[in-house]
Amino acid sequence: MENVIKRVNVKALIFSLSLYAAAIAAFITSYQSFGILLILISTTYLFLKFKIEIYNPTGSPVKRYSLFFEKDNLPKFEEILRGDMGDNTVLFNFSDSGSARADIVITKDETFSAVKLYRFIPYKYEEATDYIEFNGPQSLKLARYLERCNKR
């Protein structure tokens, strides 16, 4: 996962700077309360959106999320991930909570993805596998497979 890096979110920076400029204009035209509001919004937005994760080879933004399931099904899900996820692959049931977790990293263009599996040991989740990485067509297969599982 060394190809996933954090960079400055240029769009967020430009948006925040434009809000700062509008705040200055509000102060000049005697709308101090509106100017203060714009500064607060701009600062909060910049603080929350300043960095963005991207997949370095393609420059595509990365999305991270987690799926939960029962720990007893962990070997089965790992087998599915390491196998060929075609249209005939058995669909997996995910829930809102569970004793196992899959952390998924996927690019917006779906050319790269990675999955790391965890099992719940009282009070915390411990790693069950290292990242299982997918590139190109395999990454696209994983994305389609997870979509089909979530539609169930």
51-124-93 Cα angle (round to 5):
85
Q: Same domain for 27 and 96?
A: no
Total count of domains within the chain: 2
Answer yes or no: are the C-beta atoms of 104 and 146 closer than 8 Å: yes
Where in the sequence is the domain holding 51, given as residue range(s)?
A: 4-55
| 30 and 96, same domain (yes or no) | no
- Contact yes or no for 95/69 (Cβ under 8 A): yes
Q: Are residues 90 and 47 in the same domain?
A: no
- Please, how many CA atoms are within 13 Å of residue 132, restricted to the half-sphere of its CB? 20
Supply the pLDDT for residue 36: 95
119-138 exposure pattern, b = at least 16 Cβ within 10 A, e = fewer: ebeeeebeebbeeeebeeee
Q: Is the whole-model pTM more than 0.75?
A: yes
Which pLDDT belongs to residue 151?
A: 57
Check residue 105 and give its pLDDT: 95
Do 115 and 86 touch, CB atoms closer than 8 A?
A: no
Which of 55, 73, 94 terminates a domain? The answer is 55
Whether residues 99 and 119 fall in one domain: yes
Q: What are phi and psi of 60, to 5 degrees?
A: -85, 135
**pLDDT tens, per residue, the chain with 152 residues:** 788 889 999 999 999 999 999 999 999 998 999 999 999 999 999 999 999 999 989 889 999 999 999 999 999 999 999 988 877 888 888 888 889 999 999 999 999 999 999 999 988 999 999 999 999 999 999 999 999 887 54
Last residue of a domain, one of 36, 55, 74: 55
pLDDT at 103: 95
pLDDT of residue 111: 92
41/71 same-domain check: no
Residues 49 and 97 in one domain: no
Residues 76 and 47 occupy one common structural domain: no
